A and B are shown apart, each in its own frame.
Chain A
Amino acid sequence: MSPDATNLLQGTLDMMILKALALHEMHGLGISRRIEQITKGTFQVKPGSLFPALHRMEEEGWLSSAWGDSENNRCAKYYRLTKAGRRQLESETERWGRISLAIARALEAS
């Protein structure tokens, strides 16, 4: 993603991470791949944006982390949603829905 697009979508990045973790816990690379997958390749999150976001969200209390073994038996840090995180995901989803609806209406109006 181009640099200014990244800045613009920091809030969106948070939401993507929350969504990616909605089903089960994952490590950093896994989250990155999952976001790529669910957006069908549109968002490719660089680790330079991912890691700061993960740590920030953990400090906010939306994620919790634990060390575990990855697929290839490597030590990796796994993240999962907390209850607060789930609530945040819900409210963000709802807010985005409202915004996109409003924009769509605005664009349709003549």
Chain B
Amino acid sequence: MPILSRVTSLLRNLFQRRRSDEALDAEVHGYVDMLADEKIRAGMNPEDARRAARIELGGVEQTKEQVREVRAGAWLEILAQDLRYGVRMLGRSAGSTVIAVLTLALGIGANTAIFSVIDTALLRPLPYPNPDRIAMLYARSPNGETGELSPADFLDYKNELQSFEYLAGIRESSFNLAGEDRPERVAGTVVTPEFFAVMGRRAQIGRTLIPEQDKPSASRTMVLSYSLWQHRFGGDPAILGRSVYVDNIPRIVVGVMPHNFQFPGESELWLSALHAVPDQPLNPAADLSTDRDSHYFDAIGRLRPGVNLRQAETEAATIARRLKQQFPHKEAGGAAVIFLHEDLVGQTRPAMLILLGAVSLLLLIACANVASIQLARGASRQRELSIRKALGASRTRLVRQLLTECVLLAVAGGGIGILLADFGLVPLRALIPRDVLGGAQLALDARVLAFTILASLGSAILFGLLPALHLANPDLIGILKEAGHGAGSSSRAQQIRRVLVVSEIALAAMLLIGAALLIRSFHHLLSAPEGFRPQGVLSLQLTLPQARYPNPNDRALFVQQVIERVAALPGVASAAAISRLPLNPGSSSRTLEVEGRTPPPSGEDSPDYLVATPDYFQSIGTPLVAGRAFTERDVSGAPGTVIVSQAAARRYWPAENPVGKHVKVGACGDDKTWCEVVGVVGDVRQHHLDQEPNPTVYVSYAQDPWPFMAFIVRTKGDPASAASAVEAAIHAVDKDQPVYNVRAMTAVIQKSVSPQRLRMSLLGLFAIVALTLACVGIYGVMAYSVAQRTHEIGIRMALGAHPRRILQVILRQGFALALTGCALGLAGAFAVTRLLSSMLYGVSPRDAATFVGIPLLLLVVALLASYLPARRAMQVDPMVALRYE
């Protein structure tokens, strides 16, 4: 039974090594002795016989080694040996080991953290059954943009599309929850009953909404999210059947979803639509099934098995075209079908990939540094390696042993890297928006750890193989003849190190250029003119539920009372309300009809439509350019008035003064009457800081009292300190009204640019780390070179060379390395930075100032790094150096 026999041998080899070795030794020596005896019998003298026998054997140690290698468990023994040896060697030069491990930890840690983000956001499949069958259905306008659907369109799609097994309408919003102890504003979604069939997930408690049971107009049911059930209802086991007031409408809870179901966005509850389509925000009770003009919700569906995306989109586009022919005034004439996963991540994928690229460059630089360290370290071990080779170690064995050391370094670096990544995830979790991650948590799970292990091993091979191969091939005779230190540490090793440093500098240059471009872009972004004065302004939002304020006059009265109370507070300069805050993405556009002009085709270039109270422009700090602002006289019943922005004035009344002209827009003006333009105000960046302001039209709040609004309060001191007083004033008017998003306007601006800031910060961080590593690399190479050439420097000085000249020579060498690196880095950056163009604002991807400034910076830094070794070279005492061999 060979297996049993081998196992026995294995165990014996492991645990009785010494005895086996002694026996082997005796056996081989015995062989030599017997061989010698033979020769003596044949006539040789004993001396010669013994020598001849040894020669014939080929070397006792070699023979023993050959036997050891074929023994069972040999590989295990060898591995243990290599590990022990590796640890000892690494401990011997503890300083450079620590540097190497820390360098690797930085590189691997950064990669692990970024991979965790990418895995969670891009790679991980969505938590629904067959998630690759779920797709969004959008309307597509002639310029290619996708948009929301109108009720009648949606119903037509639902009835006619064969490609979709289920199609549901969803409208994300936020809702007032009243009752229990306090009013609260919660994100949620109004859904048609097929929604849960599309997603394919079951409730954890109770049931989800089902078409058969949650028929429109019959039910007012809702499903809660797990976290809402826990934190607002205390995990009440009797939650099913309970009635909850949502926007002052009672709804019955029929189910609770599992804790990892959170779609869309941050929804905590799902309300059954009151009609066949999701409720409209301004007028929830209305049945809009025949409305073809209000586009306010999205459609999501599950494709039939076997149907691919293109087929579905073609079918939808055909229906869209037919609808456009039937109803020519529709805006959109096309349709788009996009996989849910793509819809969620498509926007963020480019930025993530760039981050991944940057962090990989960082790891390459770290590996180059460690390879350089290994080469330097190995040079001082040439003698030891040569002796081992002479004693019979094969080249493979030496390479394996050196690689084991590298793996030890990489494992240590990876271990610390995981700790670093864990720390790094904390700020990342706070800074990356939830919907980018699809509701999942950033964590170091099994997949990420597997990636770390792969990265560590890959790095080990990357930085270890070249030095190992180089070192395992020593010139035996030459090295063993050297009496002292390895002056024979080959110039070849130094050459390799120089190549490594040049490539490090090139990669660092690329990272620095990329980071600098993003920083300049961010700076430009922040100095873009917002169109208002955010300092000293507090903002907050609230929504008046239809059920509680069914009458527009009630809403107008509420707003008036709140503004009176708030404006009377000490510390408040003025207060106003606006339907949408600046720098809040979202659209609320209305068709504008200008008196005396032909009406434009419906939907084309509609201006933004906002509703404001009289003190709005003064409070927010937008200048009044012509005419007047709204006053208390612009109330319901009075002649309709609008105020336009400068962009609107330029667009619709070029070269004319719009004040006094007449228009119809939104609620202002109808079949019989026109509204008058009474003023022009400055442009405000309503959507993003990096978007030019759209033409905007303002209507007096009293003439179109919207249920959702934001309050703007200009305070005399710090806005945050007035927050609680303002909230109290609001609750004095209506105690059940939840107030949300209470923030200073400066905070709103900061939030609007947080994606750009995050990208800039991460890339900047990587670039700085890369620069540091490159510096360490240059310093290492130059210092080593100086140490190697101490003898030569001493000779030069003894022959009369001025120390300053020596300094210059060394500095010039360092400069040459840096220059080559910069040139390569520039070329690389030139090729690659156009990938960044979608993220840049006001800066070209080939921005001259950056492409000149960064290399200069690098050269200066490189010179500084070379300066210390150069100074040391200058201080060489020729007498000492000449004695030093």
Give CA–CA (A75, B32) in the complex, Å: 12
A98 at the interface (CB under 8 A from B): no
Which chain A positions have C-beta within 8 A of B63?
47-48, 51
How near does chain B come to A56, taking the closest CB pair, in angstroms? 5
Is the beta-carbon distance between B5 and A77 smaller than 8 angstroms?
A: no
Is the beta-carbon distance between B34 and A29 smaller than 8 angstroms?
A: yes
Is the beta-carbon distance between A51 and B9 smaller than 8 angstroms?
A: no
Is the beta-carbon distance between B6 and A60 smaller than 8 angstroms?
A: yes
Which chain A positions have C-beta within 8 A of B28?
47, 51
Which chain B positions have C-beta within 8 A of A4?
none
Give the contacts of A33-80 with B (CB-CB under 8 A).
Answer: 46-48, 51-52, 55-56, 58-61, 70, 72, 74-77
Give CA–CA (A72, B4) in the complex, Å: 36
Which chain B positions have C-beta within 8 A of A55?
24, 67, 70-71
Which chain B positions have C-beta within 8 A of A60?
2, 5-6
B27 at the interface (CB under 8 A from A): yes
Give CA–CA (A72, B69) in the complex, Å: 31
Is the beta-carbon distance between B72 and A27 smaller than 8 angstroms?
A: no
Is the beta-carbon distance between A52 and B69 smaller than 8 angstroms?
A: yes
How near does chain B come to A89, taking the closest CB pair, in angstroms? 15
Interface hub of B4, B24, B67, B71 (most chain A Cβ within 10 A) = B67
Which chain A positions have C-beta within 8 A of B71?
55-56, 59
- Residue from B2, B24, B66 within 8 A of A61 (CB atoms): B2
Tell me if B's interface is mostly helix, strand, loop or mixed: helix
Give CA–CA (A52, B62) in the complex, Å: 11
Tell me if A's interface is mostly helix, strand, loop or mixed: helix
Residues 9-38 of chain B, each 1 if its beta carbon lies under 8 Å from chain A, else 0: 100000000000001101110110111011
Give CA–CA (A76, B70) in the complex, Å: 21
Known: A70-B30, A74-B33, A77-B23. A59 touches B66 (CB 8 A): no
Give the contacts of A1-55 with B (CB-CB under 8 A).
Answer: 27-29, 46-48, 51-52, 55
Which chain A positions have C-beta within 8 A of B62?
48
Which chain B positions have C-beta within 8 A of A72?
34, 37
Is the beta-carbon distance between B67 and A52 smaller than 8 angstroms?
A: yes
B57 at the interface (CB under 8 A from A): yes
Which chain B positions have C-beta within 8 A of A47?
28, 31, 56-58, 63
How near does chain A come to B295, taking the closest CB pair, in angstroms? 79
Is the beta-carbon distance between B27 and A28 smaller than 8 angstroms?
A: yes
- Residue from B23, B31, B58, B72 within 8 A of A59 (CB atoms): B72
Which chain A positions have C-beta within 8 A of B57?
47-48
How near does chain A come to B21, taking the closest CB pair, in angstroms? 12
- Residue from A48, A56, A58 within 8 A of B58 (CB atoms): A48
Which chain B positions have C-beta within 8 A of A52?
66-67, 69-70
How near does chain B come to A103, taking the closest CB pair, in angstroms? 28
Give CA–CA (A56, B30) in the complex, Å: 19
Which chain B positions have C-beta within 8 A of A70?
30, 34
How near does chain B come to A16, taking the closest CB pair, in angstroms? 17
Which chain B positions have C-beta within 8 A of A77?
23, 26-27, 30
Give the contacts of B39-93 with A (CB-CB under 8 A).
Answer: 56-58, 62-63, 66-67, 69-72
Which chain A positions have C-beta within 8 A of B477?
none
Which chain A positions have C-beta within 8 A of B35?
29
Which chain A positions have C-beta within 8 A of B831?
none
Closest residue on chain B to residue A64 by CB atoms:
B5
Known: A59-B72, A61-B2, A76-B27. A51 touches B34 (CB 8 A): no
Which chain A positions have C-beta within 8 A of B24?
55
Closest residue on chain A to residue B73 by CB atoms:
A59
Which chain A positions have C-beta within 8 A of B56?
47
Give CA–CA (A53, B9) in the complex, Å: 15
Closest residue on chain B to residue A51 by CB atoms:
B67
Closest residue on chain B to residue A72 by CB atoms:
B37
- Residue from B9, B31, B66 within 8 A of A29 (CB atoms): B31
Closest residue on chain A to residue B40 by CB atoms:
A72
Give CA–CA (A28, B28) in the complex, Å: 9
Residues 67-110 of chain A, each 1 if its beta carbon lies under 8 Å from chain B, else 0: 00010101111000000100000000000000000000000000
Which chain A positions have C-beta within 8 A of B69?
52
B430 at the interface (CB under 8 A from A): no
Is the beta-carbon distance between B30 and A61 smaller than 8 angstroms?
A: no
Is the beta-carbon distance between A28 and B58 smaller than 8 angstroms?
A: no
B483 at the interface (CB under 8 A from A): no
Closest residue on chain A to residue B35 by CB atoms:
A29
Residues 197-223 of chain B, each 1 if its beta carbon lies under 8 Å from chain A, else 0: 000000000000000000000000000
Give CA–CA (A74, B37) in the complex, Å: 10
How near does chain A come to B620, taking the closest CB pair, in angstroms? 88
B1 at the interface (CB under 8 A from A): yes
Is the beta-carbon distance between A61 and B1 smaller than 8 angstroms?
A: yes
Closest residue on chain A to residue B23 by CB atoms:
A77
- Residue from B23, B31, B72 within 8 A of A28 (CB atoms): B31
- Residue from B5, B6, B34 within 8 A of A74 (CB atoms): B34
Is the beta-carbon distance between A56 and B70 smaller than 8 angstroms?
A: yes
Give CA–CA (A52, B739) in the complex, Å: 85
How near does chain A come to B661, taking the closest CB pair, in angstroms? 99
Known: A28-B31, A29-B34, A77-B27. A51 touches B72 (CB 8 A): no
Give CA–CA (A27, B6) in the complex, Å: 22
17 contacts between A and B (CB under 8 A): A29-B31, A29-B34, A29-B35, A47-B58, A48-B62, A48-B63, A52-B67, A52-B69, A52-B70, A59-B72, A61-B1, A61-B2, A61-B4, A70-B34, A72-B37, A75-B26, A75-B30
Known: A47-B57, A61-B2. 12 other contacts (CB 8 A): A28-B27, A47-B31, A47-B56, A47-B58, A48-B58, A48-B62, A51-B67, A56-B70, A70-B34, A74-B30, A77-B27, A77-B30
Residues of B that sit less than 8 Å from A by CB: 1-2, 4-6, 9, 23-24, 26-28, 30-31, 33-35, 37-38, 56-58, 62-63, 66-67, 69-72
